[in-house]
A and B are shown apart, each in its own frame.
Chain A
Amino acid sequence: MNPEVTGLPEVDWHVLETLAARLEQPGVSPGSLAEAEWRCLPAAVQCLTDKEDWPALLQLRRLFRPLMARDSAGAMPVFLELSESAAVAAEKLEDWKELAGILGAYGHNLHRQGFHARAAAVFERSAQLYQDLGESFEALKNRHMTALCYRALGQRLRARQVITRVLAETGPSNPWRSNPLQVLAWLEQDRGDLHSARALLDEAATLQRHTTGAEILLAGTLPDLGEVRGLLGDPAGAVACFRESLAILAGHERLYARLEARTREKWAELAWRQGDHAHALALLDEADDLIRGHGQYPDLMWRIEMVRGFVFLRRGDWRTGWHKLRSTLAYRRALGLSTRVFAQQLLSRLVRQTGLPR
């Protein structure tokens, strides 16, 4: 501890434990608590960091780990700060396994937000740490995540190389295999092969349906499957996938708000293609409101704005459409994503009718 830091208030662990417990209760989501109820957490993070109380910081992170692992609260500034401070703490204490786990989770949140380059670096480091510890499967999972990041950065070839290696190291009966299958499906869709994408997503969904505790993974696969089915001319099947995904997520009280928003965004794309503009806009508004409340998800936000833009353009509202597309580019620029790549993907996908840029 830093002996020079004095006079700081002690952390009230009872209040923090009460907050963590409350967030685990049915019907309670991060957004349903008043802002004042969260104040104890940034106060605790700042206090423990100033005191350099590394064990306490790790203890604090463990207290909120279940919430941070789900995708609603992970992007909240306080949890990002907690992750960064906890990573420093683990390094100081030379707790490499803890550090690897913290980095892996931190990488997930960075990726969900859209900071793919930073996320890739974090995943790489986590993977190396696990490798050094002899935990090859954990290392594999983190390397797998780098594929998502490279794909998002437009490095499709590199992403495919990573996924191919990951699949080679994953047995066919391994339930976790559904994750790289899903990423490979995206890459196939990028290439224009929707039938291959569908087959891979069907395989992933089947694996997840037969795996206990994989329903959230299934809820994440179904929107992709719905998107592809819609592009293949099966809108009824697509809607069924979207509905099933939302039904799964409805049982989790907005703890997976980003995932729910993503499902609605994809459903909105289908509605746009079908000319049901009012429904598309309603879905997009819902998606927007889901992810505005706590933390920022620019990566999903630009997609929502993009689809909005196309809806308005198709309705003949050129001015609003222009505003939305400008907003799309603003988010992408803030994430360091190339406008040129966006234009290329847009043209390519529209021509091949393989959906909108990802």
Chain B
Amino acid sequence: MDHATFGTLLKLFRERGASGQGARWSLTQARFGERVEDELGLAPGTYRAQVVSKWELDQKIIPASERALLIAIIKILAEERRIKAPSEADRLLNAGGYQSLTPDEIARVFTPGATSTEPVSELEPAAEAPATPIDETRATIADVGRTSFRVSPRHWGGLGLLVLSVVLIVIGLGALGLGAVAGRAGLAIGAFVAGAIALLAAAWALWPSAEITGPRSTATAHGSVQLVADTCGDRPWPLGHQRLLLTAAFGAYFADLLEREPLYVDLAGQIDAALDGATTALAPVQRLIWALTNPRGPRVLILAGEGGLGKSTLAAKLVRCLFERNAVDLILGDSAKTQVVDPVTGAVGRLDPAFYTAEQFSARLAEQLGLPPTPPGKRGRIEQARDRFAGRRAVIVVDNLETVSAAHDLLRDLRQLVSRDVRVIATTRSVAGLERMSGVGVVHLHGLPSVAEVRTFIRWHIRAHAAGHPALARVEADLAQMPRLKRLLQRTGGSPLLIQLLISDIARQGWSVLDQLPTLYGRALLGFLYDDRWQDLNQAGDAGRCACRILGFVAAEQEAGKPVTLERLSVWTASQDLAEHQAEALRLLQERFLLMLREAERGHLSLFPSLAQFVRVRSNES
């Protein structure tokens, strides 16, 4: 799936290096705007550089109704040989949610000789990118950090200061050479001092600055270097014969994340990864992949953030990407438990917080590694595990590290296992003290930082969930309205989960729902939204009450680690005399974004962990 926005692609196409005859080297925003004006016969100044800039930053959305403008943009890019095939034009249009080119439009835009069946490779994500050995990766990073020397105003000034400093020093020498006469001695000293100062200033002005070489580009921020395809980690990873091993370790929720269709949207600004500075040209997720595959990267990567920000989802994407890249061939780990299942009755019981210990984690790891039943002699489990890991490339995942008693002890044990080929990914809501541990890299997840990011995220959400909630499609037209998105951002703090819940409400009831929210934020708002839905469903007749019971069933099964399919659900509803309401109940749940449905045909159902917890409490109360 291509997650680039219309603006991002427009900028990339416009700045793409031209090749072939008749192409121009640079197409500035100003020149591009002028070409659009000419094409449409508009007055000069209609599309200044600032307007083009806003298009490229997704701050100004071109309405779908302005088709002529869109076609003009495509035509100019084609004439400038920035777009070489209708497929590339469609990619740009589809990224903005616009309709692909019609045959007439293709005929109008692409003149004979300019059409190519092969899109230029540098803008195509490598769908089957070959695994990049670490050495090649390092070479790529080195290219980014390469210095260059261009003569800029600062450099001219530095040259001038250099000349001045030489002159002053010569004067000083001359004054000395004419004898130490009073006045001339002072002149000599003064000249030397001034010359020294000028020399220092010249040195500062002339010091080389690191710039990305190549064609003139303003894109020095992330996205200009592609380490892995943006789609890396998006492909579902069928667990197959590893399901027993992985569900025993991680439970149904994380295992389900590994198998489901892409959930994570790589949004700039949500990830704060203060890692090696050489990676600043990489997109955040790409930076994490670099960190996990580079020998100099942190051995332990901690993903930190409040609930609902996507830590586990990001961890799943990273794991899948590592497997796709053949960077690892073994996944182990555990989801630190807050509940325990009675093996006899199957009942799920709560554990005290921080019940889970480093010893339990080690035991789990030993089981997954197939270590000998009892450690022989005095050699510890860690030493045995290290011997087992030798020669393998593994990722150890620790989900919910905050629930581990003495997380420091666990990380200390894990650090004895890690190496350039064995890395740890941990998720946690709290990093207290962990970031000071050596070899540990901490990545903070924040809410979406800007309206542009929110818009991109909502668009993705609409595409991903409109099948189950058709009313979502109506929201897309409203995404051009900045004030509404600002209000949504302000009320949710950028939390993806809260945005998704509220967008589902907006699709049903309109934007006024934002004004009706109480003054709550974060977890309190999440609890309110769940509670509101629960009450709403209970008042929605038999289907609504059926929906609540379905939530209870799925939550219980999920907590017990059991996957729930539509077939299984049907058997259950039949046993509860609820079968006739099942279809309507599922529709109500999907409209309220309360139920995740994966694989529409067979249907795997799951709930967000926070919702499962809420439902369990409500079910116990009733």
Chain A partners chain B: yes
Chain A residues near B (Cβ < 8 Å): 8-9, 29-40, 42-43, 46-47, 254, 257, 281, 285, 288-289, 291-294, 296-298, 301, 305, 308, 312, 319-320, 323-324, 326-327, 330-331, 333-335
Measured CB to CB, the nearest residue on chain B to A15 is: B346
Interface centre among A293, A308, A319, A320 (most CB of B within 10 A): A293
Contacts A296-B370, A323-B387, A324-B390: A32 and B346 contacting too (C-beta < 8 A)?
Answer: no
Measured CB to CB, the nearest residue on chain B to A42 is: B343
Chain B residues near A (Cβ < 8 Å): 239-245, 247-248, 252, 255, 329-330, 341, 343-346, 368-377, 379, 384, 386-388, 390-392, 557, 560-563
A and B contact pairs by CB, cutoff 8 A, 10 listed: A8-B344, A31-B245, A36-B252, A37-B563, A39-B343, A46-B343, A292-B368, A308-B391, A323-B391, A334-B374
Contacts A36-B562, A331-B372: A30 and B244 contacting too (C-beta < 8 A)?
Answer: yes
Residues of B within 8 A of A32 (CB): 239-241, 243-244
> Are A34 and B561 closer than 8 Å at their CB atoms?
yes
Residues of A within 8 A of B341 (CB): 36, 39
Contacts A36-B562, A291-B370: A31 and B343 contacting too (C-beta < 8 A)?
Answer: no
Contacts A38-B244, A301-B370, A333-B377: A324 and B344 contacting too (C-beta < 8 A)?
Answer: no
> Are A333 and B376 closer than 8 Å at their CB atoms?
yes
Contacts A9-B345, A327-B387: A334 and B373 contacting too (C-beta < 8 A)?
Answer: yes
Measured CB to CB, the nearest residue on chain A to B329 is: A285
> Are A39 and B241 closer than 8 Å at their CB atoms?
no
A117 to B372, CA, bound (A): 17
> Are B344 and A43 closer than 8 Å at their CB atoms?
yes
> Are B343 and A320 closer than 8 Å at their CB atoms?
no
Partner of B242, one of A31, A43, A298, A334: A31
Contacts A34-B562, A323-B387, A327-B388: A298 and B373 contacting too (C-beta < 8 A)?
Answer: yes
> Are A36 and B390 closer than 8 Å at their CB atoms?
no
Residues of A within 8 A of B390 (CB): 312, 319-320, 323-324, 327
Partner of B392, one of A38, A254, A285, A298: A285
> Are A296 and B373 closer than 8 Å at their CB atoms?
yes
B204 to chain A, nearest CB (A): 48
Partner of A47, one of B344, B369, B376: B344
B294 to chain A, nearest CB (A): 20
A297 to chain B, nearest CB (A): 8
Partner of B247, one of A36, A257, A289, A297: A36
Contacts A281-B391, A292-B369, A294-B244: A36 and B377 contacting too (C-beta < 8 A)?
Answer: no
> Are B241 and A312 closer than 8 Å at their CB atoms?
no
Residues of B within 8 A of A254 (CB): 241
> Are B386 and A323 closer than 8 Å at their CB atoms?
yes
Partner of A43, one of B345, B372, B373, B560: B345
> Are A298 and B372 closer than 8 Å at their CB atoms?
yes
Other 9 A-B pairs with CB < 8 A, given A39-B341, A330-B379, A333-B376: A32-B239, A34-B561, A36-B252, A36-B341, A36-B561, A40-B346, A43-B346, A320-B390, A334-B372
Residues of B within 8 A of A257 (CB): 241
A43 to B239, CA, bound (A): 26
> Are B244 and A330 closer than 8 Å at their CB atoms?
no
> Are A9 and B391 closer than 8 Å at their CB atoms?
no
Residues of A within 8 A of B240 (CB): 31-32
> Are A292 and B370 closer than 8 Å at their CB atoms?
yes
B601 to chain A, nearest CB (A): 16
Measured CB to CB, the nearest residue on chain B to A312 is: B391
> Are A34 and B244 closer than 8 Å at their CB atoms?
yes
A84 to B373, CA, bound (A): 18
Partner of B248, one of A9, A35, A43, A298: A35
A189 to B201, CA, bound (A): 82
Interface centre among A29, A34, A320 (most CB of B within 10 A): A34
> Are A33 and B244 closer than 8 Å at their CB atoms?
yes
A285 to B369, CA, bound (A): 12
Closest 3 interchain pairs by CB? Answer: A334-B372, A36-B561, A323-B390
Residues of A within 8 A of B239 (CB): 32
A273 to B384, CA, bound (A): 27
A8 to chain B, nearest CB (A): 7
A332 to chain B, nearest CB (A): 9
A298 to B344, CA, bound (A): 29
B251 to chain A, nearest CB (A): 8
A38 to B255, CA, bound (A): 16
A298 to B388, CA, bound (A): 12
Residues of B within 8 A of A30 (CB): 244
A281 to chain B, nearest CB (A): 7
A34 to B370, CA, bound (A): 18
